[in-house]
Chains A and B, each alone.
Chain A
């Protein structure tokens, strides 16, 4: 590098001396006294001047050649730099250019390495962005797929996200509601929810829970509302997420279970109360004569049977539902089964002054049934009819055979209180009791459900009911004749 620089200095000095000599010659020719004197000195140097001229010319040529090489080198460097994917530059053979090339190569390597590093970082960031987008989409998809209403607000109570269930429940367009204040979105009808949401956020608790009553389409519903505060990295609250889970059905079921337990315990305790009281009376010698004592014994015996029936009912329902019950189907006459149960129900009906009318046995109503189960069905329908018929009324039971449809039908018709039209379809549901008739008689809401399960689940039959308030009801069931097909398959009407 330094030798190159020295060469340049020598050439430059020679060119300068040559040019100086040429200048002096010109000056000498101008005719001034100082010019002659100086020219005299120069002439004494002999061939120095021409040599200097030659050297100067060679230097100029050499400089030109160097300039050309430099220009060529710079051009090739420029061309190389313009390439998309430049390979390493080969040394140009010129010290300056070599130096430049080395510097460029070093800088390029450094930049290439830096670019590669940055490129890697960019790719990482792109992947992270894609992952972030995917996570966001996944989170949104999860939120949107949740059946519960989900609402997320920021620290200023403006909506960040909400799912379709939330929009449907609280009445707003969930896709176009972002960044709108939640209280403006949901309206005054849902003020309790908004208050709970904002209060929970202010409380800075991790999660708060409350049961909230909301009316949707004029139907009151109960929601289990859980609000969780959302914290940022500095543990500052940056929003809140609310989840509203509809527990209306659970509440109803819970209420039904409570009612059922209440009814069952009442039903069980009533015969037990009689047994206890009459036993104590006998023990205390309160029954003066033999006739009274016999009456007391009879009451105890009957109440014990009643208690047993109740327990059987409850156990039957439980067994039927658990699928543990064993069904023994055999040929039987429905009319004969009815006749057997009529005797038992008549004594109960007489207590209430209700007439129970049977019919003459029909010879060909042979069905394949579990006799105990179908007897239970007949008893339940008859006792229900008596229970809901006022004193002086009547209950009629008959069978008919449909030879074309190959089925036998049993009808139990009463002159009882009847069932309101909107409740008829529910009477076979478990625990269901007709609201208007609850005070008419006690019950567990199990009897008709047991009838339905026995007939439809175990005998391929069908139950039906028609009723008119104040006139009476007809409950009944159809069973396939011993050689017939399942009644449910034909879905025939009574």
Chain B
């Protein structure tokens, strides 16, 4: 069991659902949103340890969400994993500039996503311990 909280954002309800089940089954607390604007509000309110977001969403895209998160004091350091159906949608430069921790191409493996989340949170903890 872990006390980590994950915000899952996707306008595709089935994807949110399956990721939430995978994470909950592995002890994570999950909050969900179906668009970027709602996700930003939840990120400010729920203070998640990591955010998993889709790239192409109505109202606010995944990239716009990350830009907004990075511009906000409370959410500027939260790790983000981007799910995208377009392999080359995000350049390496964008990924580095916006501190996107990882990108997974759709269709993705929930198992692989869980592994990425665990790795990123572990690294975050190590950095926090050293700090």
Q: Which residues of A contact B (CB under 8 A)?
A: 262, 265-266, 269-270, 272-278, 280-281, 284, 286-288, 292, 299, 303, 351, 439-442
- Contact residue among A265, A280, A442 (Cβ-Cβ distance under 8 Å from B110): A280
- Cα separation A276 to B105 with both chains bound (whole Å): 12
Among B15, B56, B60, B109, the residue within 8 A (CB) of A442 is B56
List residues of B whose CB falls within 8 A of some A CB: 11-15, 17-19, 21-22, 25, 56-61, 83, 85-86, 106-111
**B13, A351: Cβ atoms under 8 Å?**
yes
- B60 to chain A: which residues have CB within 8 Å? 439
CA distance A272 to B21 in the complex (A): 18
Residue of A with least CB distance to B108: A273
* Residue ID in chain B nearest A283 by CB atoms: B111
A381 to B13 Cα, complex, angstroms: 22
Q: What 5 pairs across the A-B complex have the smallest Cβ distances? A: A276-B107, A269-B85, A273-B106, A273-B107, A266-B85
Residues of A with C-beta under 8 A to B57: 439
What separation, in Å, do the CA atoms of A262 and B89 have in the docked complex? Answer: 9
From A269, A280, A303, A439, give the contact of B14 (CB < 8 A): A303
- In the complex, which residues of chain A have a beta carbon less than 8 angstroms from the beta carbon of B61? 439
The docked-state distance in angstroms from the alpha carbon of A273 to that of B25 is 20
Assembled-state Cα–Cα distance A288/B25 (Å):
9
Interface centre among A262, A274, A277, A299 (most CB of B within 10 A): A277
Given contacts A266-B56, A270-B85, A273-B83, could you give 12 more A-B pairs where the C-beta distance is less than 8 Å? Answer: A269-B107, A270-B15, A273-B85, A276-B108, A276-B109, A278-B14, A280-B111, A281-B22, A286-B21, A286-B22, A441-B58, A442-B58
Residues from chain A with Cβ under 8 Å of B83 in the complex: 273
CA distance A385 to B15 in the complex (A): 23
A269 CB contact (under 8 Å) in B17, B58, B106: B106
Tell me the dominant secondary structure on chain A's binding face. Answer: helix
Residues of A within 8 A of B56 (CB): 266, 442
Given contacts A265-B85, A270-B85, contact A275 B107 (CB under 8 A): yes
In the docked arrangement, what's the CA distance between A266 and B86, Å?
Answer: 7
Residue among B11, B86, B106, B108 with max Cβ neighbours from chain A (10 Å): B106
CB distance from A270 to the nearest CB of B (A): 6
Complex interface: chain B residues within 8 A of A303 (CB): 14
Nearest-neighbour CB distance to chain B for A261, whole angstroms, equals: 10
CB neighbours of B19 from chain A (8 A): 277
Contacts of B109 in A (CB 8 A): 276-277, 280
A277 & B86 in contact (Cβ 8 Å cutoff) = no
Closest residue on chain B to residue A272 by CB atoms: B107
In the bound complex, residues from chain A placing their C-beta under 8 Å from that of B17 are: 299
Query: Can you report 15 residue pairs joining A to B where beta carbons are below 8 Å apart?
Result: A270-B85, A272-B107, A273-B12, A273-B15, A273-B83, A277-B15, A277-B19, A286-B21, A287-B21, A288-B25, A292-B21, A299-B17, A299-B18, A439-B58, A442-B11
**Which residues of B are found within 8 Å of A439, using beta-carbon distances?**
57-61
